[in-house]
Amino acid sequence: MHPAYSVIFFTTASGAGYGLLTWVAVATLARTAPTDWRFGLISLGLAFLLITGGLLSSTAHLGRPERAWRAMSQWRSSWLSREGVLAIATYVPAGLFGIAWVFFETTSGFISLLALLAALFAIATVYSTGMIYASLPTIKAWHQPWTVPVYIVLALASGGVLYLLIASFFDGANSWPLLLNALVLAAAFAIKRFYWQTLDTDHALPMRYAATGLEHLGRIRQIEPPHTQENFVMREMGYSIARKHAEKLRRLAMALMFAAPALCIVMMMVTGGFATTLLALIATAAMAVGLFTERWLFFAEARHISMVYYGQQAA
């Protein structure tokens, strides 16, 4: 598939925003988040900025962005519609939670319930985003059980690194969020590895053979190509990346998304003061570049089944 940068930014930015919102909500429920109202303003404000910016950028990929609101009307059958409904619904408990914290400096009682609802809606929205891709049987790279877990753990991993960065300014990057961040990074590393492993080992069926019913005759070929020149479907659905380049980008993504932040977290456990903030900033920058690379690969390595018609033996 041809990687659309608007969709890449949407999935990375909104995922990090929902992940940060979840971290802030859970830390508040556990009474480990800094109680300073300025922490609530900055952390929740950044989460809302990333979520809103990501959602708005997703409309740039539409032919008629002004009609995007109509997508939410099909929530009974469409994961895209469910994602939109959940994204809008998340603003309600998260907004009330933020107002209570920033303007009334309270996060207890009923406000704790709002924090819990905000976290649940955030995770549900990310789940729906992953299901948009996982529910497409025409793209085998996405139609697998690891697609949704990848979206969830990467949202939590990126949101967790952002949480550490903001908390470091308020002496809130203590052992609890550091240890939990390390565990989330380890889980994200393992799940992403499983995703790529499945992608590499679950080879596609010879779809052209099966479609014609001539698989018993061996390899078959088309006498003439469907088109004399490249068309839109071939450009968008047939984008491919060389295997050697994909391997290099995979290693780069894994190093930046997991190894670099994990190393920074280990160093944060034995340092303090300005060094903690600097390490958190390095971890955030590495995570951002690694996440963008991973998401670009997510689209570039996917092949649509329609490409069988245009000459590929399988998709």
| pLDDT tens digits for range 23-49 | 999 999 999 898 899 999 999 999 999
pLDDT at residue 236 in the model: 66
pLDDT tier, 241 (very low <50, low <70, confident <90, very high otherwise): confident
Let me know if residue 313 belongs to a domain.
no
pLDDT > 70 fraction of the chain, expressed in percent and rounded: 83
Let me know if residue 314 belongs to a domain.
no
pLDDT at 294 over 90: yes
pLDDT at 206 over 70: no
Domain hosting 290: range is 5-308
pLDDT at residue 6 in the model: 85
Let me know if residue 97 belongs to a domain.
yes
Let me know if residue 193 belongs to a domain.
yes
Query: What's the mean pLDDT when you consider all of the chain?
Result: 87
Let me know if residue 90 belongs to a domain.
yes
pLDDT at 255 over 90: yes
pLDDT at residue 200 in the model: 87
| pLDDT tens digits for range 144-173 | 999 999 999 999 999 999 999 999 999 877
Strand pairing partners for 304?
139
Q: CATH no. for residue 9?
A: 1.20.1630.10
pLDDT tier, 232 (very low <50, low <70, confident <90, very high otherwise): low
**Which pair of structure tokens corresponds to residue 218?**
């061996």
Let me know if residue 268 belongs to a domain.
yes
Stretch 257-262: mean pLDDT: 96
This prediction has a pTM of 0.90
Let me know if residue 236 belongs to a domain.
yes
pLDDT tier, 67 (very low <50, low <70, confident <90, very high otherwise): low
Q: What is the SS3 assignment for 270?
A: coil
Let me know if residue 204 belongs to a domain.
yes
pLDDT at residue 185 in the model: 97
pLDDT at residue 122 in the model: 98
Q: What is the SS3 assignment for 3?
A: coil
**Which pair of structure tokens corresponds to residue 295?**
């998401």
Q: How many domains does the chain have?
A: 1
Stretch 58-80: mean pLDDT: 74
